[in-house]
């Protein structure tokens, strides 16, 4: 197939990783909704994720899901730390699969960013005053005794024994994700949460085996990767999300990320999801400019130097741009979030824009049937303007 063949865009070719084949290379990124109850999905999640799956996306991710109760950012965050939470998650996974998409889930731990209000209150920290409203703050944990922002508590630095408990929580949560019916799992190691707090020298001030040089700071990430890979079925893909660079004034950079990605590849991670930001400091590191495809330079380096599948995310909203990224070989999957919130049927519209013969095939059959009928009627009107319609055409209109 030639790179310029519009009838077979890479964006809509099936993608196989391990024992999984997704229907296309569009991924709905994890999007925290802050609508969970006791960590579990509600009707909001059922509608939100069903909407994404109906629109033709290949991989539909449940939001970041905490591996232990204190690992949530807010009381409204998702979590899968108990077996009795599994059935509620299974209902969502079953819905996503029933309309042709692949159910996926991301596991995370907020670390020092715990005990907050939600996004619409700018993640302001909980205080003792919130206790009267049933929202008492809890003690956040991290690599070191740091505070991750103004007004936040000083974190409890995890001991080596406590770190091993956290690693066990990750493995246990991965097993629950499998039992809940998810087919892809992603480890969240980015955006200033616990794993990233260990990776960056800005937040990791330890002088033991989990701190110091880059190898020490990567130790938690790699131990979690090993434990989750061992717990997660061998035929199911495992992704890892990284902050390719810290935020403004940070220290962790793309050279560090390439080294981490190589170590993760050696531990059977299947794809690196390249994001950025989350840890800020006082260095000269600039913020990454928010332009279309702003993570592509990071994706390109990881793909070229490590030889692992990569996921591109970051203001990729135009179908041809997404296709060009895949054609260039820089990435294997295109991830989207807010664009899909705004335009959940983006995959079907992108398929039409890129010349896919039957873009309606991405939609559920009950939708596709009626939309194809409308298309047939439109063609009749264009081809026979002002003419009396045939009996077949009249019947088509009357039964649509």
Active-site positions?
193
Q: How far apart are CA 53 and CA 215, in angstroms?
A: 39
Please give the backbone phi and psi of residue 330, each rounded to the nearest 5 degrees, phi first.
Answer: -75, -30
131 with 95: CB under 8 angstroms?
no
Q: How far apart are CA 340 and CA 274, in angstroms?
A: 19
Q: How far apart are CA 360 and CA 345, in angstroms?
A: 10
205 with 146: CB under 8 angstroms?
yes
Surface-to-core class of residue 318, CB atoms within 10 Å of its CB (0-12 exposed, 13-18 middle, 19+ buried): middle
- The DSSP bridge partners found for residue 105 are 62, 185
DSSP E strands, the chain: 15-17, 20-22, 26-28, 59-66, 78-79, 102-108, 141-142, 156-157, 184-189, 238-243, 271-275, 309-313, 333-336
Q: How far apart are CA 259 and CA 199, in angstroms?
A: 12
Six token digits for residue 359: 């873009």
> Judging by DSSP bridges, how do beta strands 156-157 and 141-142 pair with one another?
parallel
> Judging by DSSP bridges, how do beta strands 20-22 and 15-17 pair with one another?
antiparallel
> Judging by DSSP bridges, how do beta strands 271-275 and 333-336 pair with one another?
unpaired
Q: How far apart are CA 54 and CA 57, in angstroms?
A: 8
Helix boundaries (H) for 32-132: 43-54, 86-98
Please give the backbone phi and psi of residue 81, each rounded to the nearest 5 degrees, phi first.
Answer: -105, 0
CB atoms within 10 A of CB 393: 18
CA angle 86, 92, 94 (to 5 degrees): 95
């Amino acid at each position: 197939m030639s790179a310029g063949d519009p009838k077979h865009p890479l964006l809509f070719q099936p993608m196989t990783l391990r024992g999984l084949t997704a229907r296309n290379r569009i991924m709905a990124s994890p999007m925290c909704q802050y609508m969970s109850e006791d960590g579990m999905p509600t009707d909001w999640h059922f509608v939100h994720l069903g909407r994404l799956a109906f629109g033709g996306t290949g991989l539909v991710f449940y939001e970041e899901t905490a591996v232990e109760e204190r690992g949530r950012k807010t009381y409204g965050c998702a979590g899968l730390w108990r077996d009795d939470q599994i059935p509620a998650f299974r209902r969502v996974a079953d819905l996503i699969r029933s309309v042709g998409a692949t159910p996926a889930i991301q596991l995370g731990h907020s670390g020092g960013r715990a005990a907050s209000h939600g996004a619409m209150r700018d993640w302001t920290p909980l205080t003792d005053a919130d206790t009267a409203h049933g929202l008492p703050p809890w003690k956040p944990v991290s690599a070191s005794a740091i505070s991750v922002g103004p007004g936040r508590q000083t974190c409890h630095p995890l001991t080596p024994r406590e770190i091993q408990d956290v690693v066990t929580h990750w493995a246990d949560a991965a097993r629950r994700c499998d039992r809940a019916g998810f087919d892809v799992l992603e480890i969240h190691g980015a955006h200033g949460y616990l794993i990233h707090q260990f990776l960056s020298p800005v937040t990791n001030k330890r002088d033991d085996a989990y701190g110091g040089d880059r190898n020490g700071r990567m130790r938690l990430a790699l131990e979690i990767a090993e434990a989750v890979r061992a717990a997660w079925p061998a035929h199911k893909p495992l992704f890892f999300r990284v902050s390719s660079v810290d935020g403004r004034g940070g220290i962790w950079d793309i050279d560090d990320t390439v080294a981490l990605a190589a170590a993760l590849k050696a531990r059977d991670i299947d794809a690196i999801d390249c994001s950025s930001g989350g840890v800020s400091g006082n260095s000269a590191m600039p913020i990454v400019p928010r332009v279309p495809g702003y993570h592509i330079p990071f994706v390109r380096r990881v793909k070229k130097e490590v030889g692992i599948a990569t996921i591109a995310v970051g203001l990729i909203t135009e179908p041809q741009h997404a296709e060009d990224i895949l054609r260039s070989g820089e990435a294997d999957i295109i991830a989207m979030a807010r664009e899909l919130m705004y335009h959940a049927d983006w995959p079907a519209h992108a398929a039409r824009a890129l010349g896919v013969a039957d873009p309606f095939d991405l939609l559920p059959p009950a939708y596709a049937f009626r939309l194809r009928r409308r298309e047939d009627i439109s063609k009749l009107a264009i081809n026979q303007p002002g003419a009396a319609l045939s009996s077949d055409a009249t019947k088509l209109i009357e039964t649509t």
